[in-house]
Structure 1
Amino acid sequence: MSRITRFAALVTASALVAGVGAAGVGAAGVGAAGVEVASAANAAAPAPSPAHGPSPAHGKGGEGDKLDRKVREQAEKLVADGAPGVIVMTRRGARVSHVTAGVADKATGAPMDHRLQFRIASVTKSFTSTVVLQLAAEHRLSLDDTVDRWLPGLVAANGNDGSKITIRQLLAQTSGLNDYTPDPRVMSDPARTWTPGELVAIATEKPPLYAPGTDWNYSNTNYILAGMIIEKATGRPVGAELQRRIFTPLRLRHTFYPTTDPGFRGPYVHGYYYEYGDVSTLVSPSSARTSGGIVSTVDDVARFHRALFTGRLLPAKQMRELRTVRPVNDDGIVEDYGLGVARIAFSCGYGWGHDGGFPGYRTWTYTSADGRRQAIITYNESKLESDTTFRADLAKAAETAFCG
């Protein structure tokens, strides 16, 4: 049995890209933890060599150092709970800090490093939504356009009706379309190259869950369709639009959008799936695409979300659309969901962002509305939140990182 076949047997019944979640969410030993403090510019650092260790702390003492110590304790606890490695990025005004614990590569023992690339999974949805909203601001499409307006006849089987689903409903996760990712075929051959149309066809084999706009369910199908609409509206590949509109203007130098190649473009965090081991490059990103395919770093994600939530990427009207939320309950987690972004309640206020999961990777992002407070947590093991102890410690880590 091949390596890919054995992996597929483990995850055939699992969803590929995790849904949105809130902070209220065989163990590896605790590795060396490091802290690095940066200036307000948060400039993109050069990618490290795979063996690069955590950077030592620098900067003045005070409340920031106290926060780093508390965050480091939480990161080490997550490693003790089972995460091979953890990165926690925090911002308090001009002060940006990175705490790492554990390893990025079990085989070599290379420590976790905040400059390494990883798969951000469903955090991609914030990028996709931003491009759609920019196109709406340019009057190249309307959020009230139907799916059929741009993709006639694509959503038409088994009671699914693209003439009744709007672009806004896609972004808000209120279309009623089923999610394609739990389908066993998606992971039975993880290296397979999927087309967007094939993924939509899987989803529409089942009748809709409800009439469009009347309820909410997390479905990656919505964001596959959004990506297809971007390409129809612009006449360009969606990756080119992401590059032109977001990656290049924000100088996200370690961020890219793969479609079929499961490799990375620089040193990366190795991702692990249960006892199977390293699955970092086994799964084709074609099964995630605009629902969860982007590769990035914690600093690039933080820069994007800070620019987004402080209004640098969208006009006021589209910002209102982005942040128009409804309360949702996703797998027992209660939060507010807007257009590709979630609003999470912390003790110190709301955090805006998204979470994401891809085989071997899990990420949680939070940014305050004014951009002065941020927290990102990422670790390189799938499905750890099914453990109640890990889930409780993750919630504590998120609260500490965002509120201190």
Structure 2
Amino acid sequence: MASVKIRLLSTTVAAAAVTAAVVPAAHAAAGPRSHGRHLDAKVQAQADRLVADGAPGVIVMTRRGGRVSHVTAGVSDKATGAPMDHRLLVRVASVTKSFTSTVMLQLAAERRLSLDDTVAKWLPGVVAGNGNDGSTITVRQLLAQTSGLNDYTPDPRVMSDPARTWTPAELIAIAMEKPPLYAPGTSWNYANTNYILAGMIIEKASGRPLGTEFQRRVFGPLRLRHTSFPTTDPSFPGPYVHGYYDEFGDVSTQISPSSARASGGIVSTVDDVARFHRALFTGRMLPPKQMRELRTVRPVNDDGIVEDYGLGVARIKFSCGYAWGHDGGFPGYRTWTYTSADGRSQAVITYNESKLEYDKKFRADLAEAADTAFCA
């Protein structure tokens, strides 16, 4: 789940003004107030440090039981100096994979498909050529990132033409130009290709566009009123955090989401993302059998981050125990989500610059901020 899930890096520049805001939820009352204030102060210090490290702006949402707080630092728009605000929209990128996996598992629970179905059953002839064979890859292996297929994302054609509108078939065709990395099910590699295929299978099995399935199965039932799934339009449907990509500047609306789609196309807020993951990991979205599938993990090392990966979700070890979630990176945006198995503890962190991905100090400070937000 690490680094650039759209594989195009992630966060920052120098930060001007640092504006802090702690906004408890209206219903927040559970737990000692003194502990809540102490947590907010610790998280604020961590957010301020990330801005000092170079992130233009940072949002951190935390939950402890019924108490929800938001801490912000820095700016959402460098041109105007507008402060960060937790209500603003961001591109959550590969956090989308948890949504896609959830819909696929719901279809499996309804017996509309099986996780043991082959890709070729649903998409005949799509995964073929150069040793790629859809008849040997299962739906489960797509969701678990164990298909062996190559990732289309780093291809120069995708990287060099960010405004182009790509079809899913075109993206898969790029991945098919290279032989598989290994036999299906024998190893692990992070590839957006897997989730583009998963989205195509969902559309075949349901008979509806993926965005419609997201709306009727997830966005609507959970009242995710600030969550959407653009596939070609790079604009935002409401006020948003501006995203920056090093010398390219503000890239917020310059890159087509068509190269992300089921692998990373969702636009949302930290609160909507937290609401979804809390519902998912506490069993509100899937029957027990599919929950067991979702949380069947294998240890992986993703760009230097060690974690356990399941079906579109990851289990991450913190000082206080394990969290479930996913992270995502899209040019200009980076989001990390963490939820305890009982849903009582949560943290969501997002920031808006794509150049700190491999900065050792920033990554160390980010890891400390995540542990503080989830555990303190």
TM range (shorter): over 0.9
* 1:258 equivalenced with 2:200 (yes/no): no
Q: Identity, % of aligned pairs?
A: 80
Q: 2:68 aligns with which of 92, 96, 116?
A: 96
* 1:17 equivalenced with 2:1 (yes/no): no
CA drift of 1:278 comes to 0.3
* 2-structure distance, mates of 1:295, 1:400: 26
CA 276–16 in structure 1, closer or farther in 2 if over 3 Å, else same = farther
* 2-structure distance, mates of 1:220, 1:167: 14
TM-score normalised by L of structure 2: 0.96
Deviations 1:304-325 (A, max 9, x none): 0000000000000000000000
1:32 corresponding residue in structure 2:
19
Q: 1:208 aligns with which of 175, 180, 192?
A: 180
* 1-structure distance, mates of 2:197, 2:268: 22
Q: Where in structure 2 are there 5+ consecutive unaligned residues? A: none
Deviations 1:137-177 (A, max 9, x none): 00000000000000001001100000000000000000000
Q: Matched residue of 1:130: which SS?
A: helix
* 1:170 equivalenced with 2:142 (yes/no): yes
CA drift of 1:383 comes to 3.2
Runs of 4+ in 1 over 6 A off after TM superposition: none
CA drift of 1:188 comes to 1.4
Q: 1:183 aligns with which of 137, 142, 155?
A: 155
Q: Which amino acid aligns with 2:283?
A: G
TM-score normalised by L of structure 1: 0.89
* 1:249 equivalenced with 2:249 (yes/no): no
* 1-structure distance, mates of 2:88, 2:28: 19
* 2-structure distance, mates of 1:41, 1:153: 53
* 1:69 equivalenced with 2:41 (yes/no): yes
Q: Matched residue of 1:215: which SS?
A: coil
* 2-structure distance, mates of 1:31, 1:385: 21
Is contact 1:30-1:79 (8 Å) kept?
no
CA drift of 1:187 comes to 2.0
Q: Matched residue of 1:108: which SS?
A: coil
CA drift of 1:335 comes to 0.6
Is contact 1:15-1:182 (8 Å) kept?
no
CA 268–222 in structure 1, closer or farther in 2 if over 3 Å, else same = same
1:353 corresponding residue in structure 2:
325
Deviations 1:320-376 (A, max 9, x none): 000000000111211100000000000111110000000000000000000000000
* 1:230 equivalenced with 2:202 (yes/no): yes
Q: Matched residue of 1:64: which SS?
A: helix
Q: Matched residue of 1:324: which SS?
A: coil
* 1:308 equivalenced with 2:280 (yes/no): yes
CA drift of 1:16 comes to 7.0
CA 41–239 in structure 1, closer or farther in 2 if over 3 Å, else same = farther
CA 270–381 in structure 1, closer or farther in 2 if over 3 Å, else same = same
Q: Which amino acid aligns with 1:323?
A: R
* 2-structure distance, mates of 1:276, 1:231: 35
CA drift of 1:19 comes to 9.4
* 1-structure distance, mates of 2:295, 2:7: 21
* 2-structure distance, mates of 1:123, 1:251: 18
Q: Where in structure 1 are there 5+ consecutive unaligned residues? A: 1-13, 43-58
